[in-house]
């Protein structure tokens, strides 16, 4: 019998390898940027169209390639960076596998233009799906330009698998930022669909971070510096008071390579012990330099984990270095020399004692106390929509007739009760009984956490936080999708600072947020101006609310408008819901019960947790029977 095993043709092998190297446009961005860095460039320009789906072009002023190299670079395992296995342990370049370009050329249309300094003419070459289609001599500037077009043109399944432009572009920005942060001595520019998104001139570490994350970042940074035999640490951590619920800006670079490390993250968190508010995390931008032979760099091309020889020592050094820096910044103001004057405090502040800006948040703020927002929420949500609950009486009567949920006493209320119960069988059967007429008017709050009330079959216990989340969630969902909510005008507009990614999310969700009652006067390069707020949001809550919202949206990587709407409603409901530990007056408890059972799905919170449980008289009897 003849043999059945065959060697795969190169273009097929390359396509398979591409599956590992190139997952999405951002992977191409990373590989091309890293090649430009390795080529000794001082200026690198990234041009992206349609989040990289149509075009990713990287233009550098690095050392360029000869005619032969220009062709060779697309071969698999073709690299100028290592020659021997030992070279792996003395690696100073980003690439070394010689795989990236072969992979990219297998699944896209690639145009390469390159010229070395000493050559008069350069090479212009086109390769499509691993096949060279043209090669010319051309007059070119020094350096290299790779244009990668129509990614996955020959693998429709992969192309269809790509997420929305917003999501893919966010990944592109992530990679761009990581490479740019690791190389502050190189100038980087990013254009997306013709507009300049980043222009980062070469500068010091601090300037680079501030240029990427916005001017306000400067005041938050505490420098970190330590030099030992096994590691040299530089970079910054943020002051504890700027810690966020969101763990967005946390970066480790090891030998100028972005890495992720849960272990080192833990070391940083340990250094902040006792300094952070619950659930908050600091930002950090930490650069570790270790001897190349003490790490295992032979990692998967797309993975960012790394193995250290002596992880324990690194942990201890990192922790104590940061602890030391945090201790110092309070006492000695840290001077940073060549820093951009634009980033500094205004002139008139010079010499004056600077006070640390604090966000004033009243954590005990009780949204019921002021104007009974549940009530207004309930009436706003339900008053004008007959399709929602079909309750005409709610239209006339903005007062939440919560009693009607329990008993039917007068004909006027009968109508309300009846229709309210139609949506949820369980709700109806819970309260629809006149026998409990006397008892139901009582609600009790237990441990500032639960609301307990008698019902016909026994008792109901409601989780106040989850119940309120449900009420607010349905309200916001409705505002976003069906009707525009009213907003309260601010006397003094609020200016809030965000980084590019966060601003991109805000721009993306602007319409939905406006429907909830936000009014944005401006969405700028590094800040937004808020003119109006949803009626049940206090000014002091806005920054936390938006921070949590951005965090949630970042985590969720929303892909369709449905999930985005849903995420916004969920996030706002979670932020604004009355917390466990909040004392509620009897009236507030009643309003809550009323609003909950007027919901479409009263029995679960937006996060799918039960909002209430019932205990029947029989259950109680059984327990007493023992
Ligand atoms: P690796 O980076 O692992 O060596 P790549 O496939 O990314 O593999 O690149 C192959 C080779 O092409 C590199 O080793 C380098 O010699 C050359 N090359 C790639 N990009 C550039 C560039 N921008 N400037 C100069 N040479 C480049
Ligand atoms: Mg490379």
For every residue of 554-570, DSSP letters joined together read HHH---SHHHHHHHHHH
CATH at residue 534: 3.30.1370.100
Mean pLDDT of the chain: 80
Is the residue at 405 inside a domain? Answer: no
**One domain for residues 578 and 445:** yes
What's residue 396's pLDDT?
31
The residue contributing the CA closest to ligand 1 atom 2 is 95
What's residue 267's pLDDT?
95
**Which range scores top for mean pLDDT: 13-17, 402-406, 491-495?**
491-495
In the sheet with 143-149, reading across from the earlier edge strand, the strands are: 131-138, 122-128, 109-115, 143-149, 55-60, 43-49, 187-192, 195-200
What is the domain extent for residue 606?
433-614
Q: Is 63 in the pocket of ligand 1 (CB under 6 A)?
A: yes
210 against 367, higher pLDDT: 210
Residue after which a domain boundary falls, among 294, 328, 362: 328
What's residue 427's pLDDT?
42
What's residue 356's pLDDT?
54
Is the residue at 357 inside a domain? Answer: no
CATH at residue 236: 3.30.230.10
Is the residue at 364 inside a domain? Answer: no
Assign 204 a pLDDT band (cuts: 50, 70, 90). Answer: very high
**One domain for residues 185 and 257:** no
What's residue 8's pLDDT?
79
Per-residue burial over 257-268, b = 16 or more CB atoms within 10 Å of its CB, e = otherwise: bbbebeebbebb
What's residue 367's pLDDT?
52
Look at 107-116, 150-159, 419-428 and tell me which has the smallest mean pLDDT: 419-428
Stated pTM of the model: 0.63
**Which range scores top for mean pLDDT: 192-206, 335-349, 418-432, 540-554?**
192-206
The residue contributing the CA closest to ligand 1 atom 20 is 35
| Max Cα-Cα span within the chain | 100
Q: Is 454 in the pocket of ligand 1 (CB under 6 A)?
A: no
**One domain for residues 100 and 243:** no
Per-residue pLDDT tens over the stretch 507-516: 888 988 998 9
What's residue 431's pLDDT?
52
**Which range scores top for mean pLDDT: 387-396, 424-433, 608-617?**
608-617
Assign 1 a pLDDT band (cuts: 50, 70, 90). Answer: low
58 against 241, higher pLDDT: 58
Q: Beta strand pairing status for 250-254 and 284-289?
A: parallel
**One domain for residues 178 and 249:** no
Look at 42-46, 139-143, 330-334, 418-422 and tell me which has the smallest mean pLDDT: 418-422
Please report the sign of the dihedral spanned by the C-alpha atoms of residue 39, residue 125, residue 46, residue 284.
negative
Q: Does residue 249 surpass a pLDDT of 50?
A: yes
Look at 59-68, 245-254, 422-431 and tell me which has the smallest mean pLDDT: 422-431
How many folded domains does the chain comprise? 3
Closest ligand by atom to 30 CA: 2
| C-alpha dist (Å) from residue 300 to 20, 297, 305, 307 | 9, 9, 9, 12
477 against 38, higher pLDDT: 38
% of the chain at pLDDT higher than 90: 42
- Residue 262 φ then ψ, to 5°: -60, -35
Count of Cβ atoms closer than 10 Å to residue 469 Cβ:
26
* Residue 160 CA neighbour count, 13 Å, CB half: 3
What's residue 425's pLDDT?
37
Instruction: Find the mean pLDDT for residues 60-65.
Output: 97
Per-residue pLDDT tens over the stretch 66-109: 999 999 999 988 888 877 777 777 777 877 778 899 999 999 99
Q: Does residue 423 surpass a pLDDT of 70?
A: no
**One domain for residues 129 and 210:** no
Per-residue pLDDT tens over the stretch 515-525: 899 999 999 88
36 against 162, higher pLDDT: 36
Closest ligand by atom to 96 CA: 1
Which protein residues have a CB closer than 5 Å to ligand 2 (ion)? 35, 95, 100
- Nearest atom in ligand 1 to the alpha carbon of residue 96 is 3
**Which range scores top for mean pLDDT: 55-59, 398-402, 545-549?**
55-59
Q: Is 60 in the pocket of ligand 1 (CB under 6 A)?
A: yes
What's residue 359's pLDDT?
55
User: 35 C-alpha to center of ligand 2: Å?
Assistant: 5
**One domain for residues 178 and 285:** no
Assign 420 a pLDDT band (cuts: 50, 70, 90). Answer: very low
**One domain for residues 269 and 180:** no
User: 40 C-alpha to center of ligand 1: Å?
Assistant: 11
Residue after which a domain boundary falls, among 313, 328, 343: 328
Instruction: Find the mean pLDDT for residues 297-317.
Output: 80
User: 510 C-alpha to center of ligand 2: Å?
Assistant: 38
Q: Is 96 in the pocket of ligand 1 (CB under 6 A)?
A: yes
Is the residue at 375 inside a domain? Answer: no
What's residue 480's pLDDT?
84
Residues 115 and 21: their CA atoms lie apart, in Å, by 26
Q: Is 104 in the pocket of ligand 1 (CB under 6 A)?
A: no
Assign 550 a pLDDT band (cuts: 50, 70, 90). Answer: confident
CATH at residue 139: 3.30.565.10
Instruction: Find the mean pLDDT for residues 287-296.
Output: 90
Closest ligand by atom to 102 CA: 1
Q: Does residue 340 surpass a pLDDT of 70?
A: no
User: 81 C-alpha to center of ligand 2: Å?
Assistant: 9
Per-residue pLDDT tens over the stretch 562-587: 577 888 899 999 988 998 888 898 88
Is the residue at 211 inside a domain? Answer: yes
User: 212 C-alpha to center of ligand 1: Å?
Assistant: 27
The strand pairing partners of 235, in sequence order, are 224, 286
What's residue 366's pLDDT?
58
What's residue 499's pLDDT?
86
Q: Does residue 411 surpass a pLDDT of 50?
A: no
Q: Does residue 332 surpass a pLDDT of 50?
A: no
Q: Is 22 in the pocket of ligand 1 (CB under 6 A)?
A: no
**One domain for residues 80 and 157:** yes
Residue after which a domain boundary falls, among 200, 225, 259: 200
**One domain for residues 184 and 237:** no
The residue contributing the CA closest to ligand 1 atom 16 is 80
List, in sequence order, the alpha helices (H) in 107-164.
156-161
Fill in the DSSP letter of residue 435: G
Rg of the chain (C-alpha set): 30
Q: Is 81 in the pocket of ligand 1 (CB under 6 A)?
A: yes
**Which range scores top for mean pLDDT: 223-227, 479-483, 505-509, 558-562?**
223-227
Q: Is 25 in the pocket of ligand 1 (CB under 6 A)?
A: no
Among 347, 402, 305, which Cα is nearest to 597's? 402
Is the residue at 35 inside a domain? Answer: yes
Q: Is 144 in the pocket of ligand 1 (CB under 6 A)?
A: yes
* Residue 92 CA neighbour count, 13 Å, CB half: 3
Burial (Cβ within 10 Å: 0-12, 13-18, ≥19) of residue 283? buried
Look at 149-163, 430-444, 529-543 and tell me which has the smallest mean pLDDT: 430-444
Residues 52 and 29: their CA atoms lie apart, in Å, by 8
Is the residue at 342 inside a domain? Answer: no
**One domain for residues 445 and 539:** yes
Q: Does residue 15 surpass a pLDDT of 50?
A: yes
Assign 390 a pLDDT band (cuts: 50, 70, 90). Answer: very low
- Nearest atom in ligand 1 to the alpha carbon of residue 100 is 6
Q: Is 159 in the pocket of ligand 1 (CB under 6 A)?
A: no
**One domain for residues 503 and 598:** yes
User: 100 C-alpha to center of ligand 1: Å?
Assistant: 8
Is the residue at 517 inside a domain? Answer: yes
**One domain for residues 316 and 254:** yes
């Amino acid at each position: 019998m003849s043999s059945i095993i065959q060697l795969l043709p190169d273009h097929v092998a390359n396509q398979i390898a591409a599956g590992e190297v190139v997952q999405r446009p951002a992977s191409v961005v990373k590989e091309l940027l890293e090649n430009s860095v390795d080529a000794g460039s001082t200026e690198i320009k990234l041009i992206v169209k349609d989040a990289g789906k149509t075009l990713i072009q990287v233009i550098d002023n690095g050392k360029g390639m000869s005619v032969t190299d220009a062709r060779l670079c697309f071969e698999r395992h073709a690299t100028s960076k290592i020659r021997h296995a030992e070279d792996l342990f003395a690696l100073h370049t980003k690439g070394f596998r010689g795989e990236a370009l072969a992979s990219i050329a297998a699944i896209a249309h690639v145009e390469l233009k390159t010229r070395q300094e000493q050559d008069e003419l350069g090479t212009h070459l086109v390769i499509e799906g691993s096949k060279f289609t043209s090669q010319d001599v051309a007059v070119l500037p020094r350096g290299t330009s790779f244009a990668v077009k129509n990614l996955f043109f020959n693998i429709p399944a992969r192309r269809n698998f790509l997420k929305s432009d917003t999501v893919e572009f966010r990944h592109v920005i992530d990679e761009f930022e990581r490479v740019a942060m690791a190389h502050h001595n190189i100038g980087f520019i990013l254009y997306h669909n013709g507009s300049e998104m980043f222009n980062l001139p070469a500068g010091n570490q601090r300037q680079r971070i501030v240029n990427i994350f916005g001017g306000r970042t400067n005041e938050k940074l505490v420098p970190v510096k330590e030099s030992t035999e096994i590691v040299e640490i530089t970079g910054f951590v943020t002051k504890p008071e700027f810690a966020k619920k969101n763990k967005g800006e946390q970066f480790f670079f090891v030998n100028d390579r972005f890495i992720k490390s849960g272990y080192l993250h833990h070391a940083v968190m340990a250094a902040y012990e006792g300094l952070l508010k619950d659930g908050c995390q600091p930002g950090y931008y930490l650069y570790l330099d270790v001897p190349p032979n003490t790490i295992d760099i032979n990692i998967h091309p797309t993975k960012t984990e790394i193995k250290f020889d002596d992880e324990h020592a690194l942990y201890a050094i990192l922790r104590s270095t940061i602890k030391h820096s945090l201790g110092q910044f309070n006492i000695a103001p840290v001077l940073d020399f060549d820093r951009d004057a634009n980033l500094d405090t205004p002139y008139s502040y010079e010499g004056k004692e600077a006070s640390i800006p604090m966000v004033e948040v009243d954590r005990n703020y009780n949204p019921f106390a002021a104007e009974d927002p549940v009530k207004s929420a309930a009436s706003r949500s339900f008053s004008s929509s007959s399709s929602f609950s079909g309750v005409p009486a709610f239209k006339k009567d903005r007062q939440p007739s919560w009693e009607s949920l329990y008993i039917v006493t007068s004909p006027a209320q009968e109508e309300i009760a009846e229709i309210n119960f139609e949506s949820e069988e369980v709700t109806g059967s819970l309260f629809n009984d006149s026998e409990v007429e006397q008892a139901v008017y009582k609600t009790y709050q237990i441990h500032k956490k639960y609301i307990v009330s008698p019902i016909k079959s026994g008792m109901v216990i409601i989780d106040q936080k989850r119940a309120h989340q449900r009420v607010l969630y349905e309200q916001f969902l409705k505002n976003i999708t069906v009707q525009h909510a009213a907003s309260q005008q601010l006397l003094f507009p609020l200016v809030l600072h965000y980084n590019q990614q966060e601003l991109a999310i805000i721009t993306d969700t602007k319409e939905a947020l406006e429907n909830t009652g936000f009014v944005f006067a401006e969405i700028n390069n590094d800040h937004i101006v808020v003119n109006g707020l949803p009626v049940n949001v206090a000014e002091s809550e806005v920054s936390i609310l938006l921070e949590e919202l951005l965090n949630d949206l970042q985590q969720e990587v929303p892909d369709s408008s449905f999930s985005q709407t849903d995420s916004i409603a969920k996030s706002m409901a979670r932020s604004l819901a009355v917390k466990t530990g909040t004392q509620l007056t009897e009236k507030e408890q009643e309003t809550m019960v009323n609003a909950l059972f007027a919901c479409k799905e009263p029995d679960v919170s937006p996060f799918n947790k039960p909002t209430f449980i019932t205990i029947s008289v029989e259950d109680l009897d059984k327990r007493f029977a023992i």
